[in-house]
Amino acid sequence: MSLYSKRGVSAQKEDVHAATKNLDKGLYPKSFCKIYPDMLAGDPDWVNVMHADGAGTKSILAWLYWRESVPSGKETGDLSIWKAIAQDAIVMNLDDLLCVGIYDNLLFSSTIDRNKRVIPAEVLEAIITGSQEFFDKMKSFGVNIHYMGGETADVGDVVRTIAVNGTMTARWPKSKLITNEKIKKGDVIVGLASYGQSTYETEYNSGIASNGLTSARHDLLNKSYSSKFQESYDTSLDDELVYTGPYKLTENIQYSIFNTQYSTKVGKLLLSPTRTFAPVVKELLENHFDSIHGLIHCSGGGQTKCLKYVPDNVRIIKDNLFEPPIIFKMIQEASKADDREMYQVFNMGTRMEIYTNEKDADAIINVSKSFGVDAQVIGRVKESEKKELLIKRNALEIFF
């Protein structure tokens, strides 16, 4: 059993899939989000989509970092970290909707559950302010997201710290949908990097996004957090699974990426806000729509996410994924997890997949790079009697 499973989390969400197996799959069963006929206006040429997601246990890391970074003589720490959590909750919705071709006129409603005993009003304000700031930034790229308010509840009996989630809704023309039905043998896969610094980001992004943070938190942070911050974990877990790593959140790490030297705190690497690909994908959908056969966001399930959405008669071969950035190397070294578990849990530096014709790949790559988001052909689609995934890394081959 993997460490992720032992900690009560499933990368593949088997229980969720089993519970929802009998539900209607919508108009396009392979689409990344469930798509329904237009029930708002009844137009047969339009569809409705509603999607819910959130920052997950990353909010616990924010709470730890916020508490640990308290300056001398003050009561609270760096509130800016909560603005990043707001972005995480939004982007985990937004980038999923990008995968069905939706990038404009979106409605967002937030849901924040907190334990008032440990989360004061100033944290709520930072999250709400951070949400609006992100929407304002996206508007400057022509991605209009309308903030519809939401629900904020004090539920200390339910959550030990805070949970930050949201729901995003859109109405969209059928003719502009990406449903993954066009993915076919001969396609290549263009991968967009989850890390680096894009033209619309203010600092280096580690690429961690908002998946696998339960493992990342316990595998990297040291045992002192278990006694000092018991609100931050499930106290029924075996002690050998709780905060087993070598690092403190405020510890500095030196590393290089793309031949550039960086120094930052471990907490900052773990809390890098989930990068949105909205500016990139918007341009691709507006100017290269016919070249895009499928879009897959490598979120929960990491590099195996594609298996749920590609056709049943293909083999996906990923043999040129990005070199995993420093955060994933740190996690793997600390946890001793094998490559199979790492690629099942984490995006490993490649978080958006674009399925396209080989002749169109360079144009797509150039658009992405114009925004400072590295891109390359990471793999290809082959015909197969059964759906399967092969990840090749160095001399290792991993089949799923």
Dihedral (C-alpha) 147, 179, 55, 275: value to the nearest 10 degrees? Answer: -90
As to burial, measured by CB atoms within 10 angstroms (0-12 exposed, 13-18 middle, 19+ buried), residue 30 is middle
Report the pLDDT averaged over residues 38-61.
Answer: 96
Rounded to whole angstroms, the Cα distance separating 294 from 101 reads: 9
Q: Which residues, 6+ apart, have CB-to-CB distance to 316 below 8 Å?
A: 189, 306, 307, 310, 379, 381, 382, 388, 389, 390
Is residue 217 situated within a structural domain? no
Residue 82 and residue 66 in contact, taking contact as beta carbons nearer than 8 Å:
yes
Res. 79 pLDDT band, cuts 50 70 90: confident
Distance CA 376, CA 361 (A): 8
Residue 183: inside a domain, yes or no? yes
Whether residue 223 lies inside any domain: the answer is: no
pLDDT tens for 342-392 read 999 999 999 999 999 999 999 999 999 999 999 999 999 999 999 999 999
Is the residue at 237 inside a domain? no
CA proximity to 14, closest of 307, 295, 310: 307
Is residue 292 classed as helix, strand or coil in its secondary structure?
strand
Banded model confidence at residue 398, pLDDT cuts 50, 70, 90:
very high
Residue 145 domain boundaries:
3-202+272-399
Residue 238 burial (10 A CB sphere; 0-12, 13-18, 19+) = exposed
pLDDT of residue 68: 84
- Tell me, what CATH number does 157's domain have? 3.30.1330.10
**319 lies in a domain?**
yes
Residue range 241-266: average pLDDT? 88
Q: Which of 3-12, 84-93, 253-262, 344-353 has the lowest mean pLDDT?
A: 3-12
Strands 314-318 and 145-154: unpaired
Helix (H) or strand (E) holding 18: helix 14-20
Look over the chain and give the mean of its residue pLDDT values, rounded to a whole number: 93
Domain count, the chain: 1
φ/ψ of residue 129, rounded to 5: -65, -40
**pLDDT category of residue 11 using cuts at 50, 70 and 90:** low
Domain presence at residue 71: yes
Residues 227-235 have a mean pLDDT of 93
74-80 contacts: CB < 8 A, separation 24 or more? 76/120, 76/122, 79/122, 79/123, 79/126, 80/126
Q: Which of 38-52, 59-73, 223-237 has the lowest mean pLDDT?
A: 59-73
Whether 263 maps to a domain, the answer reads no
The whole-number pLDDT of residue 9 equals 67
The pLDDT value given to residue 394: 86
Percent of the chain whose pLDDT exceeds 70: 92
**385 falls within a domain:** yes
Tens digits of residue pLDDT in 20-34: 666 678 899 999 999
- Contact predicate 306/344, CB 8 Å: no
